Amino acid sequence: MLQNKKTLISSILALSIFIQSFANWIFFATPTVQAATPSEENKIVALFVQDSIATTIQPSLEWYTTTYIQARFPKTKVLVFPIDTTTMTPLDIQKIITNLYHGGEKDTPSTLIGTILVGNIPLPIIKQDNYIVPSMLPYTDIEKPSFIYDPTSSYFLPSTYPTDNRQELFHGVIRFDTTNEYTTYFDKLKTYLAQPETFADKKFWFDDFTKLEEHFTNENVGPYLQGQIHGEDISYHRFSQGLFTLLKDGANDEALSILQSA
């Protein structure tokens, strides 16, 4: 009898442990971790328009921002900023651009990709060495900028901090003397958008190699080959002392050959 009781108690205890373990497995199993899908950001284009012409060209401006830009480039939004050119300074505009670049549009996942100036919008004035020129660079070079505003001179001067010589934003400038010229420009842009092929003149390129050979002297072969081989380096001014010496010596040899054969 005692043995049966022990067996019964052992069975109940084992069953209790099994039920408890099963319950823990069902109700306290490790949840599956899933990363949240990142929200797609809007691409922002900041358009600054001279307030004195904004009302006159408003229909053209609405078409330009909605149909020409937003409809052609998905997830792109144009923010229009009328600018009082008598009070707003380049530093004020740069601050707006910088805030948009780093913070985007309020309460909206967004990032600034470009800025467009329509009208007589003031440009930053940069000063480097003895040169003083207006430039879009402070409006487009946001991270590690090459030029920093100097309040003592009102110029943008070369930065004393490390720079990357890269512009983060694209830019456009639309500026005319009269409002009629703005209307004409946007009307022409509408025509281009509807029929871009009418703006391209079709040509056929033809090379007569036989004639080229007749007029191509042997003395020109060397510089021609050097130009073909090093054309990219020459175009981007990627000169080294070795390349400079090579091109210089080659040119001197060709010139000496021509003089000796004359």
What is residue 36's predicted lDDT score, i.e. its pLDDT?
39
Q: Is the pLDDT of residue 182 over 50?
A: yes
Q: Is the pLDDT of residue 155 over 90?
A: yes
What is residue 239's predicted lDDT score, i.e. its pLDDT?
66
What is residue 30's predicted lDDT score, i.e. its pLDDT?
41
Residues in the chain: 262
What kind and span of H or E run contains 247? helix 241-261
Kindly state the average pLDDT of the residues 12-16: 50
The lowest-confidence range among 71-75, 132-136, 189-193 is 71-75
Q: How confident is the model at residue 23 (pLDDT cuts 50, 70, 90)?
A: very low
| pLDDT tens, residue by residue, 122-136 | 999 999 988 899 999
What is residue 7's predicted lDDT score, i.e. its pLDDT?
53
Strands 170-174 and 110-118: parallel
Q: Return the amino acid letter for 154.
A: S
Q: Is 50 in contact with 117 (CB distance < 8 Å)?
A: no
- What is the token pair recorded at 95? 């601050």
| pLDDT tens, residue by residue, 34-66 | 443 445 678 999 999 999 999 999 999 999 999
Using CA atoms, how far apart are residues 144 and 135, in angstroms rounded to an integer? 17
% of the chain residues with pLDDT over 70: 79
List domains and CATH numbers for the chain.
42-191 (3.40.50.10390), 209-255 (no CATH)
Burial classification of residue 83, based on how many CB atoms lie within 10 Å of its CB (0-12 exposed, 13-18 middle, 19 or more buried): buried
The answer to pTM > 0.85 is: no
Stronger pLDDT, 23 or 185, i.e. the higher one: 185
Q: Is 158 helix (H, G, I), strand (E, B) or coil?
A: strand
Using CA atoms, how far apart are residues 95 and 72, in angstroms rounded to an integer? 28
Q: Is 126 in contact with 140 (CB distance < 8 Å)?
A: no
What is residue 201's predicted lDDT score, i.e. its pLDDT?
78
Q: Is 164 in contact with 143 (CB distance < 8 Å)?
A: yes
Q: Is the pLDDT of residue 185 over 60?
A: yes
